[in-house]
Amino acid sequence: MLTVIAALEQELSGVRQVLRGRKSVPVDLQVIGVGKRQAQAGVGKILDARSWSPGDGLLLLGFAGGLDPALKVGDLLLPTSYYRESGALLLVDTGMWQHARLAAAESAIPVVQGNSLTVEEVVAAPKDKKELYRQHQVGSVNMEDYWVAEVAAEARVPFLSVRAILDPVHQELPYYVQGLLGQPVKAALRATVSPWHIPALVKLAGIRGAAQSSLTRFALAFIKHQLATAVHRPSAI
């Protein structure tokens, strides 16, 4: 079975909406939380909850900050390596990566090969993103990829992260928006008491919609490809 995970419900909601009621599609959707502690704990529970068979895997869908100046809102990144700021790295599962490339090609979904950098805190300022790009030369920044890859590798479960750019390198997330990405109710309340924030929140909603759409299209293509592959996979003797 393919398990699709995300740090935030908003990163999964498009897929969940399409698959709702389709019990014949063997896909498990799980939210694991933001950052190292929550992500590793969430993935650990998922891994411990059932046995894993050949053909199973973990696919992480998520928003990311852009570091490469060429990246735009909604661009999909397919990494070959997950980095930490310390320089430590983990390589992607080649089988999952090849499935992703084929699924994207079959559905005419453009993807960019851009490695992933995992950090401890949100990186919102353009100057900080530019400095990270100068130091590490990676495509995007997030708070979960390396930590989830580490847990999956220890459990010997195939793992792949696919990220959609939410805020390109030149764009700063306003300070009053950074903590609201996963909390739409709180965002609405903030807009009520601080109406001058509404334009930025509306803009963020549009940006998030573009990133969410990219993740949903890719995930559905990946699931379709995985199911087709499973049909033709020889049975174990």
91 pLDDT band, cuts 50/70/90, is very high
Q: Check: CB of residue 168 under 8 Å from CB of residue 71.
A: yes
Q: Helices (DSSP H) in the chain: which residue ranges?
A: 9-19, 35-49, 94-106, 126-136, 145-155, 175-178, 184-193, 198-232
As beta bridge partners, residue 31 has 6
CA neighbours closer than 13 Å in the CB half-sphere of residue 110: 5
Angstrom distances, CA of residue 112 to CA of 52, 74, 180, 182, 209: 30, 11, 27, 25, 19
Q: Check: CB of residue 122 under 8 Å from CB of residue 8.
A: no
Q: Check: CB of residue 160 under 8 Å from CB of residue 222.
A: no
Cβ atoms < 10 Å from Cβ of 91: 12
Q: Mean pLDDT for the chain? A: 83
Task: Name the nearest CA neighbour of 83 among 165, 144, 7.
Answer: 144
Number of folded domains in the chain? 1
Q: How far apart, in whole angstroms, are the C-alpha atoms of residue 23 and residue 175?
A: 41
pLDDT exceeds cutoff 70 at 233 = no
Tokens 């592959």, located at residue: 229
* Residue 140 covered by a domain: yes
Q: Check: CB of residue 135 under 8 Å from CB of residue 117.
A: no
**Structural domain containing residue 175:** 2-232
Task: Name the nearest CA neighbour of 116 among 140, 132, 97, 137.
Answer: 140
CATH number at residue 54: 3.40.50.1580
Task: Name the nearest CA neighbour of 63 among 135, 14, 3.
Answer: 14
Q: What is the pLDDT of residues 113-159, one digit of tens each?
A: 889 999 998 888 899 999 999 999 999 999 999 999 999 999 999 99
Q: What is the pLDDT of residues 209-220, one digit of tens each?
A: 788 889 999 999
CA neighbours closer than 13 Å in the CB half-sphere of residue 70: 9
* Residue 7 covered by a domain: yes
pLDDT exceeds cutoff 80 at 176 = no
* Residue 237 covered by a domain: no
Q: What is the pLDDT of residues 17-31, one digit of tens each?
A: 999 877 777 899 999
Q: Check: CB of residue 74 under 8 Å from CB of residue 68.
A: no
Backbone angles phi, psi at 84, to 5 degrees: -110, 165
Q: What is the pLDDT of residues 24-54, one digit of tens each?
A: 778 999 999 988 999 999 999 999 988 888 7
